């Protein structure tokens, strides 16, 4: 009988030991599932303990994408798309503003928000990584609307919002298909930007240019030596615009002073401007710079498609 008790005790101890071993091996597995790894556009690998919920946006594609994923940013740069009616609207004033400028945001403001992740724009915020110290910095550099799609997918996976991300992507792709059906490659369009006579254009290698090129003739190509407000932009002249003579021109005016005339008004002083088909047919359209130039996310690009389609159809 005593031996039976000893055998029973041995079995119990063995089971306890086995359970402890299983418990010890399961903990790292759980941790690895929570850990998030991603690589940004600068090929910098970023490792997070878990999917972030506190995210600071220094670029509008971040604001745009978080809105699609139903996540409120922990902080944003001033003057962006946050207050546009299609985005956070009446809730925009509750979102903290990062001081400084778009090019040089206030690092102390970011620290005070204690974010789990900061998202910045390539070519603008790369140098902030050292200043941010232990705060992870993700740099995004979209050069076409397809990059914007992939950014939504990646942020969906990162934040556990895959279903919302895929729904947004599907809706956007359906909208592109509709844009193709409603427009024509016989129509030549152009997107111009600037604050004075020294303007630039979005080429078909840019986010908005690549999108419009899906449905209309968009013959403008990138000058690799040119500097721009975004990837795929290039400096241009009215003489070069006249060579292609677009049917419709969309204009993005960059201005911090409401008293400064729009870019199209300033260009109207040039005699070449009056020779353009779009000008002669009253098909020059000032558009919302925040949406068309700065947004870069699927929410903004969806608005671009809506507004472009309406203008193109009305011009027929």
Domains belonging to the chain, first-starting first, are 36-141 (3.40.50.1980), 181-315 (3.40.50.1980)
Lowest mean pLDDT among 13-22, 110-119, 130-139, 233-242: 13-22
Average pLDDT, the chain: 87
Identify the pLDDT of residue 58.
98
Per-residue pLDDT at 8 exceeds 80: no
Q: What pLDDT band is residue 34 in, cutting at 50, 70 and 90?
A: confident
* Residue range 178-206, pLDDT digits in tens: 999 999 999 999 999 998 778 999 999 99
217: left (phi over 0), alpha (psi -120 to 50) or beta: beta
Identify the pLDDT of residue 21.
38
Identify the pLDDT of residue 29.
35
Per-residue pLDDT at 67 exceeds 90: yes
Per-residue pLDDT at 11 exceeds 90: no
Beta carbons of 67 and 173 less than 8 angstroms apart: no
Tell me how far the alpha carbon of residue 242 is from its chain's centroid: 31
Q: What pLDDT band is residue 230 in, cutting at 50, 70 and 90?
A: low
Pairing between strand 284-286 and 248-253? Answer: parallel
Per-residue pLDDT at 259 exceeds 80: no
Identify the pLDDT of residue 224.
54
Q: If you average pLDDT over residues 75-81, what whole number do you get?
A: 93
């Amino acid at each position: 009988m005593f031996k039976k008790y000893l055998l029973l005790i041995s079995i119990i101890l063995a089971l306890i030991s086995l359970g402890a071993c299983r418990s010890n091996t399961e903990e790292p597995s759980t941790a690895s599932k929570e850990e998030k790894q991603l690589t940004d556009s600068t090929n910098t690998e970023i490792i997070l303990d878990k999917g972030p919920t506190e995210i600071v946006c220094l670029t509008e594609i971040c604001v745009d994408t978080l809105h699609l994923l139903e996540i409120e940013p922990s902080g944003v740069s001033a003057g962006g798309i946050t207050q546009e009616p299609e985005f956070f609207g009446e809730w925009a004033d509750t979102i903290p503003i990062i001081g400084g400028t778009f090019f040089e945001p206030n690092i102390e403001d970011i620290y005070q928000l204690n974010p789990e992740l900061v998202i910045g724009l390539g070519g603008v915020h790369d140098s902030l990584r050292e200043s941010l110290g232990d705060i992870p910095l993700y740099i995004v550099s979209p050069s076409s609307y397809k990059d914007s799609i992939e950014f939504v997918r990646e942020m969906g996976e990162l934040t556990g919002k895959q279903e919302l991300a895929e729904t947004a992507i599907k809706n956007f792709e359906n909208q592109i298909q509709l844009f193709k059906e409603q427009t024509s490659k016989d129509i030549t369009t152009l997107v111009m930007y600037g604050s004075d006579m020294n303007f630039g254009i979005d080429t078909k290698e840019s986010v908005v240019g690549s999108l419009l090129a899906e449905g209309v003739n968009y013959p403008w190509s990138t000058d690799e030596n040119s500097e721009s407000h975004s990837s795929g932009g290039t400096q241009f002249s009215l003489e070069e615009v006249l060579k292609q003579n677009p049917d419709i021109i969309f204009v993005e005016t960059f201005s911090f002073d409401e008293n400064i005339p729009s870019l199209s008004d300033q260009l109207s002083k040039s005699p070449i401007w009056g020779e353009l088909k779009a000008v002669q047919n009253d098909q020059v359209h000032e558009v919302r710079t925040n949406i068309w130039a700065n947004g870069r996310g699927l929410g903004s690009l969806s608005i671009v498609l809506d507004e472009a389609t309406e203008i193109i159809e009305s011009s027929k």
